[in-house]
Amino acid sequence: MEDAARVHHPARAAEPAGRRDPTGPSPPRAGGKRGAGMLIGEYRHTVDDKGRLFVPAKLRDELGEPLVITRGLDQCLFVFPPGEWSSLEAKLRALPLAQSSARAFVRMLLSGASECVPDKQGRILLPQTLREYAGIDREAVLIGVGNRVEIWAAERWTRYVEEASEAYSQIAEQIVDLGI
């Protein structure tokens, strides 16, 4: 049996309103926090003419509301659940103001940040500045990476996977010392 959380298949329709898979994730607690839940999977969707992107229910359940979207690294966008965003904000406040690299990082991350709540159809509005930063025109890929979701332009994600696949074994060997 396929794990639907790994790859979204466009041929499969969105989940009917009011129906939930009893084996799927439980609803988020207040503040978007869920036990030991983890954001995982890869989903491909199209950005509509108004800049809205569908977020699959499995990701929405884990993300909670309001979610925060901002510039990420590697020219993708980061989407944080409220609790993760609050933790990150606290760490950013603790960075030394006198250090220029810390100021630059905080500026890039926070100036692009936007709170959003999915609409009734499960779509979020990607601000134009963030779409331009990530090179997202029509096709986008949402990937769960543990404590956040990343949104990539489909072409960039494909290229990244091709390049990273070649180095995957070498990277694994390098991080084995981290206890993984």
pTM for this predicted structure:
0.76
Write the pLDDT tens digit of every residue in 65-76. 999 999 999 999
- Greatest mean pLDDT range, 6-10, 149-153, 168-172: 149-153
The secondary structure of 106-139 as a DSSP string is HHHHHHT-EEE---TTSEEE--HHHHHHHT-SSE
Crossing angle of the two packed helices 82-93 and 100-111, in degrees rounded to 10: 150
Determine the CATH number of domain 33-154.
3.40.1550.20
pLDDT at 59 over 90: yes
Q: Which residue has the tokens 């100021």?
A: 103
Percent above pLDDT 70 for the chain: 79
pLDDT on residue 177: 72
Query: Per the structure block, which two tokens stand in for 55?
Result: 């977020």
Nearest in space to 85 (alpha carbons), one of 115, 107, 127: 115
Q: Where are the domains of the chain?
A: 33-154
Write the pLDDT tens digit of every residue in 18-35. 333 333 333 443 444 443
Write the pLDDT tens digit of every residue in 72-106. 999 999 999 999 999 999 999 999 999 999 999 99
